[in-house]
Amino acid sequence: MIIIDGATGEGGGQIFRTALTLSMALGKPVRILNIRAGRKKPGLLRQHLACLKAARAISSAEVTGDVIGSQDVTFVPGKVKAGSFHFSVGSAGSTTLIFQTIFPVLALQDEVSEVTLEGGTHNGMAPSFDFLHACFLPAVEKLGFTFASQIESYGFYPAGGGRWTTRIYPRKQARPLLLLQRGQLQGCEALVTQAKIPFSVADRELEVLRRALHIDDANLHRRNVNSVGPGNIVSLQLQYSDHVEVMEAIGERGVRAEQVAKKLVMQVQNYQASEAPVGEFLADQLIVPMALTEGGCFCASPLSSHFNTNVAVVEKFLDVNVEINHNAHNALVTIKPLTKTHWTTH
Determine which residue in the list 37, 230, 239, 324 makes contact with other proteins, applying CB under 8 A.
230
- Gap between the Cα atoms of 108 and 82, Å rounded: 9
Binding mask 267-306 for other proteins (x = CB under 8 A): ----------------------------------------
Determine which residue in the list 196, 204, 210, 336 makes contact with other proteins, applying CB under 8 A.
196
Nearer to other proteins, 121 or 330 (CB): 121
Q: How far is the CB of 216 from other proteins (least distance, A)?
A: 33
Q: How far is the CB of 166 from other proteins (least distance, A)?
A: 19
Nearer to other proteins, 83 or 230 (CB): 230
Nearer to other proteins, 118 or 280 (CB): 118
Confirm whether 86 is a catalytic residue: no
Nearer to other proteins, 93 or 170 (CB): 93
Is residue 35 a contact point for other proteins (CB under 8 A)? no
Q: Which stretch binds other proteins (CB under 8 A): 137-145, 222-230, 321-329, 331-339?
A: 222-230
Q: How far is the CB of 32 from other proteins (least distance, A)?
A: 17
Please pick, among 48, 122, 133, 306, the residue that the annotation labels catalytic: 306
Nearer to other proteins, 129 or 271 (CB): 129
Is residue 45 a contact point for other proteins (CB under 8 A)? yes
Q: How far is the CB of 193 from other proteins (least distance, A)?
A: 16
Angle at 114 (CA atoms; ends 244, 54), nearest 5 degrees: 95
Determine which residue in the list 3, 68, 148, 178 makes contact with other proteins, applying CB under 8 A.
68
Which residues between 83 and 102 bind other proteins (CB under 8 A)?
Answer: 88-93
Binding mask 141-160 for other proteins (x = CB under 8 A): ----------------xxxx
Determine which residue in the list 23, 47, 285, 293 makes contact with other proteins, applying CB under 8 A.
47
Q: What's the number of CA atoms in the CB half-sphere (13 Å) around residue 221?
A: 12
Q: How far is the CB of 93 from other proteins (least distance, A)?
A: 8
Closest to 162 (Cα-Cα) out of 113, 96, 114: 96
Nearer to other proteins, 98 or 320 (CB): 98
- Gap between the Cα atoms of 83 and 81, Å rounded: 6
Can you give the three-state secondary structure of the chain, one letter per residue?
A: CEEEECCCCCCCHHHHHHHHHHHHHHCCCEEEECCCCCCCCCCCCHHHHHHHHHHHHHHCCEEECCCCCCCCEEEECCCCCCCEEEEECCCCCEHHHHHHHHHHHHHCCCCCEEEEEEEECECCCCCCHHHHHHHHHHHHHCCCCEEEEEEEEECECCCECEEEEEEEECCCCCCCEEECCCCCEEEEEEEEEEECCCHHHHHHHHHHHHHHHCCCHHHEEEEECCECCCEEEEEEEEEECCCEEEEEEECCCCCCHHHHHHHHHHHHHHHHHCCCCECHHHHHHHHHHHHCCCCEEEEECCCCHHHHHHHHHHHHHCCEEEEEEECCCCEEEEEEECCCCCCCCC
Which residues between 111 and 130 bind other proteins (CB under 8 A)?
Answer: 118-119
Determine which residue in the list 9, 161, 295, 296 makes contact with other proteins, applying CB under 8 A.
161
Q: How far is the CB of 118 from other proteins (least distance, A)?
A: 7
Angle at 28 (CA atoms; ends 111, 285), nearest 5 degrees: 70
Q: How far is the CB of 71 from other proteins (least distance, A)?
A: 12
- Gap between the Cα atoms of 71 and 75, Å rounded: 13
Residue numbers of the site for other proteins (CB under 8 A)? 41, 43, 45-47, 49, 67-69, 88-93, 118-119, 157-161, 196, 228-230, 253
- Catalytic residue numbers? 306
